[in-house]
Amino acid sequence: MVEVWLPYGKAEVCLRVPTENFLGIIKPNEMKGAENPQEEIERSLKEPIGTKRLPEIVKPGDKISIVINDAGDCSLNLLIVKSILIELNEAGASNRDITVIKGYNPLYTSAAKNDVEFRNDEALKEVEVIDHNCESQENVYVGETSFGTKVHLNKRFVESKTKILAGQVRPHPYMGYSGGRDGVLCGVSSVETIQHNLSMVTHPKARSGLLEGNPVHEDVVEAAHLIGVDFTLNAVRNKDQELVKCFAGDLDEAFNKGVNLADEMYKIPVGGRADIVFASPGGFPFDLSLHESCKGIRNALEVIRKNGVLILVAECSGGYGSSDFYNLMAKYKDLKGIENSLKKRFTANGYVAYSLTGARERVEMILVSTIPDFYALEVFKLKTARTVNDALRYAFDSSKKNAKIFAISHGNITIPVVKQ
């Protein structure tokens, strides 16, 4: 018997699997966090990839915008911005000429809102910090991508002499990877621009870890090139959310270096598929609600055989999450209905409902959580089990006693790659 410990809320649960059935645990590769995160950020700024250092780009009196990803960790964002300010001040730039724009992120709209520490830091005393308003009538038209997306951007950003983007490179459910370029689209874009871009999320190549041929990603890249970006900083973190490395410099080159490192951590080669897969989103905060827990569900589907069983192990101490997510799952009974709704108007809740419904139509699903059975069964149409081992017994009865089993410990950020 093999004991497999899976993250569950702020603790872990133990799954006991017969040795002959267990194929292994799929988890991100371990990479040590930087000993001194601030030093790593500063190193990347002093060793930019494919472009000059900021002190060589900026001149005194230039108006400067720094876009940061609002879904990121506030403490890391603060370190990044403070380090960029040091570089800009070295060039003679005044903090009064610098604007920090907190970018809009449609998939993580509730993240990182507790940013009092960020806004009140002494280093940002003379810097204006604003939240981008995607519905503002002052957003400026800058051109159209080959995908037909009319790009309207934040006026302050467009009018800045120097444009800087800072973000985190991590697996993204439909953009492939976040970071760098998405500071433009969706970060400082209008709601119409965002909606047109995200109307492509149902494309088969709009998926985690895939960039080439992914229309959502390629549209984002075109939008960033339309406006012209002078400098980027891309941070890469490990599964424990520790900063591993930063890549600063050119819009494309620095991002690609970050992706290469993220691939090493999060793309995990797998020899085949299993009949039963246990998937934990990664514990708190990834499994705070059912809505959060389902963001990586398509990753788990990659390693399940046809008609297999997917067991989602997620505490969901916050219940099902968004009421909009609940209403969409109650309203639409099949994937086609949600897909048509998404194409007309993208919402983060609609996308998660789309992912869950698609998974439910492909495999049998069991939920191990604290959500009351009524909601799980009646609204989300998920079978339930009180414990992971109860779920395993049910899965064995549903399939076969010699069924092969995988476990995924950090499902929201792990990208299994099945060897052909």
User: Reduced to 3 states, what is the DSSP secondary structure of residue 124?
Assistant: helix
| Euclidean distance between CA atoms 379 and 325, whole angstroms | 10
Residue 112 has pLDDT above 60, yes or no: no
Residue 21 has pLDDT above 50, yes or no: yes
| Euclidean distance between CA atoms 336 and 158, whole angstroms | 38
Residue 322 has pLDDT above 90, yes or no: no
| Tokens matching residue 307 | 């008609």
Considering the chain, tell me which residue range(s) the CATH 3.90.226.30 domain(s) occupy.
2-29+267-418
State the pLDDT confidence band at 113, using cuts at 50, 70 and 90: very low
Can you tell me the mean pLDDT for 192-214? 94
Backbone angles phi and psi of 278, in degrees to 5: -95, 130
pLDDT reported for residue 70: 59
- Of 114-118, 191-195, 321-325, the poorest mean pLDDT is in 114-118
Give the β-pairing of 176-177 and 171-172: antiparallel
pLDDT reported for residue 398: 76
Find where tokens 């930019």 sit. Answer: 48
- Which tens digits make up the pLDDT trace of 213-248? 999 999 999 999 999 999 999 999 999 989 999 999
How many CB atoms neighbour CB 45 within 10 A? 21
Considering the chain, tell me which residue range(s) the CATH 3.40.50.11440 domain(s) occupy.
37-237
| Tokens matching residue 337 | 């209905």
- Which tens digits make up the pLDDT trace of 337-352? 898 888 888 888 899 9
How many CB atoms neighbour CB 248 within 10 A? 31
Query: Which helix (H) or strand (E) covers residue 131, if one does?
Result: strand 128-131
Whether the Cβ atoms of residue 240 and residue 388 lie closer than 8 Å to each other: no
Residue 359 has pLDDT above 60, yes or no: yes
- DSSP per-residue letters across 239-286: TT--EEEEEEESTTHHHHHHHHHHHHHHEEEESS-EEEEEE---STTT
| Euclidean distance between CA atoms 377 and 359, whole angstroms | 15
Can you tell me the mean pLDDT for 194-216? 94
User: Reduced to 3 states, what is the DSSP secondary structure of residue 141?
Assistant: strand
State the pLDDT confidence band at 207, using cuts at 50, 70 and 90: very high
Q: How many CA atoms, within 13 angstroms, populate the side-chain half-sphere of residue 205?
A: 10
| Euclidean distance between CA atoms 225 and 209, whole angstroms | 21
Whether the Cβ atoms of residue 165 and residue 229 lie closer than 8 Å to each other: yes
Exposed / middle / buried, residue 39 (Cβ in 10 Å: 0-12, 13-18, 19+): exposed
Average pLDDT of the chain to the nearest whole number: 92
- Which tens digits make up the pLDDT trace of 259-276? 999 999 999 999 999 999
- Which tens digits make up the pLDDT trace of 273-305? 999 999 999 999 899 999 999 988 999 999 999
Q: Structurally, what CATH architecture does the domain formed by 2-29+267-418 represent?
A: Alpha-Beta Complex (3.90)
Beta bridge partners of 49: 249
| Euclidean distance between CA atoms 358 and 201, whole angstroms | 13
State the pLDDT confidence band at 110, using cuts at 50, 70 and 90: very low
- DSSP per-residue letters across 197-224: HHTTTTSTT-STT--TT-HHHHHHHHHH
| Tokens matching residue 242 | 């520790």
pLDDT reported for residue 100: 95
| Euclidean distance between CA atoms 368 and 229, whole angstroms | 45
Residue 358 has pLDDT above 70, yes or no: yes
Dihedral (Cα; 143, 148, 149, 150), 10-degree rounding: 40
- Which tens digits make up the pLDDT trace of 24-61? 999 999 999 999 999 999 999 999 999 999 999 999 99
Domain 37-237 CATH superfamily: LarA, N-terminal domain (3.40.50.11440)
Give the torsion sign (CA, 128, 130, 136, 140).
positive
